[in-house]
Amino acid sequence: MIRSMTGYGKAEEATADGKLAVELRSVNHRYGEITVKLPRQFLALEGELKKRIAERCKRGKIDAFVQFEASAGGSYLPQVNLPLAKAYHDAFVSMNLHFGNYEPVPLALIVAQRDVLSTQEMTADLEKVAPPLFTTLAAALERLEQMRASEGESLAAEITGRVAAVTGLVEKIASRAPLAVAGNSERFRERIARLLGDTQLDESRLAQEVALLADKMEITEELVRLRSHFQQFAATMQLDEPVGRKLDFLLQEMNREVNTIGSKANDGEIAAMVVELKAEMEKVREQIQNIE
């Protein structure tokens, strides 16, 4: 099954301590690269999260975002610096006495002073947090894979159509090749005849030269290898595993054979078809870069 490297998946889950959200985004990449951004109290789970993502996504640049919205009062605890609060209280009382003010010092005034009241992030209980987090990750991965599979179907249809067009052009070249060889051989004979004028032709020598010319233009082996590559390409498209690199390698081999055909054929019609072939194969290559 062809899968795209581009996709998006998000899942959320409510827990007793708050709401978890996992968001995954993936784009094209030559290899597999995973980045995880998560709250500080979950950092110990980063390695396991990357491992689980890598098991499902073999290629592509994948960014994972983990968010945690704690229940009221669940994430941070207020901390009171009592010694500092007492010091402020004593200072305000001292000032009141100095100015003849005997009213009690308002608590709000003490609390408003710097560093008297602060908040401290709670340490997460990883044994409690991990199961719902991994469940949420699995749901996000499922949606990511669904999108990658859906886009993969579109890519497969596009690639299959273009490969069919390429195959058709190759068969046209195969049909044209014998005519090109015969035409070039005949033109070679005529050219030699014009150069020699009334001089008697050595038919055996001429036949050897014509045979050498025909051999240089022979593209049967290249056509056989191309057809073999097409068969391998079609079979690889059906594999239920990441096939992007294999398809890219096969396309490189196809391009090598097409370039050889273009250099050997010495025929205007074949040259034009080779140009068209290379244009179609470049479009296939662009599509393959999106495949996992």
Bridge partner residues of 207 (DSSP): none
Shared-domain flag, residues 242 and 181 = yes
Quote the domain boundaries for residue 183. 151-288
Residue 1: inside a domain? no
Shared-domain flag, residues 184 and 278 = yes
- List CB contacts of 277: < 8 A, sequence separation 6 or more: 166, 169, 170, 173, 258
- The pLDDT score that the predictor gives to residue 3 is 92
> Cα–Cα–Cα angle for 126, 130, 132, nearest 5°?
135
Shared-domain flag, residues 177 and 113 = no
What is the tens place of the pLDDT at every residue in 168-195?
999 998 888 777 655 555 565 556 556 5
- DSSP secondary structure of 165-184: HHHHHHHHHHHHHHHHHHHH
Shared-domain flag, residues 107 and 81 = yes
- The pLDDT score that the predictor gives to residue 207 is 58
> Cα–Cα–Cα angle for 240, 244, 245, nearest 5°?
115
pLDDT score of 69 more than 90: no
- The pLDDT score that the predictor gives to residue 31 is 87
Tokens at residue 25, please?
């985004």
Of residues 180 and 256, more confidently modeled: 256
Bridge partner residues of 35 (DSSP): 63
Shared-domain flag, residues 141 and 256 = no
Residue 87: inside a domain? yes
Residue 157: inside a domain? yes
Kindly give the pairing relationship between strand 60-70 and strand 32-37.
Answer: parallel
Q: Residue 81: what residue type? A: N
- The pLDDT score that the predictor gives to residue 128 is 82
Shared-domain flag, residues 225 and 274 = yes
What is the tens place of the pLDDT at every residue in 26-51?
999 988 899 999 988 888 999 999 99
Shared-domain flag, residues 156 and 47 = no
Shared-domain flag, residues 262 and 226 = yes
Shared-domain flag, residues 273 and 233 = yes
Q: From CA 175, how far away is CA 207, in angstroms rounded? A: 24
> Cα–Cα–Cα angle for 254, 260, 264, nearest 5°?
145
Shared-domain flag, residues 145 and 158 = no
Tokens at residue 59, please?
């290629």
Residue 2: inside a domain? no
Of residues 276 and 129, more confidently modeled: 276
**CATH number, residue 56:** 3.30.230.10
DSSP H stretches of helix in the chain: 46-56, 82-98, 107-111, 126-196, 203-217, 220-237, 244-265, 268-288
Q: Which range is least confidently modeled, 29-43, 100-114, 213-227?
A: 213-227
Shared-domain flag, residues 223 and 165 = yes
Average pLDDT over residues 137-152: 95
Shared-domain flag, residues 142 and 243 = no
- List CB contacts of 213: < 8 A, sequence separation 6 or more: 184, 185, 188
Q: List the one residue out of 119, 268, 265 whose CA is nearest residue 181.
A: 265
269 within 8 A of 180, measured Cβ to Cβ: yes
CA dist list (Å): 139 to 17, 86, 133: 20, 52, 10
Domain count, the chain: 3
- The pLDDT score that the predictor gives to residue 150 is 94
With 0-12 / 13-18 / 19 or more C-beta atoms within 10 angstroms meaning exposed / middle / buried, residue 9 is: buried
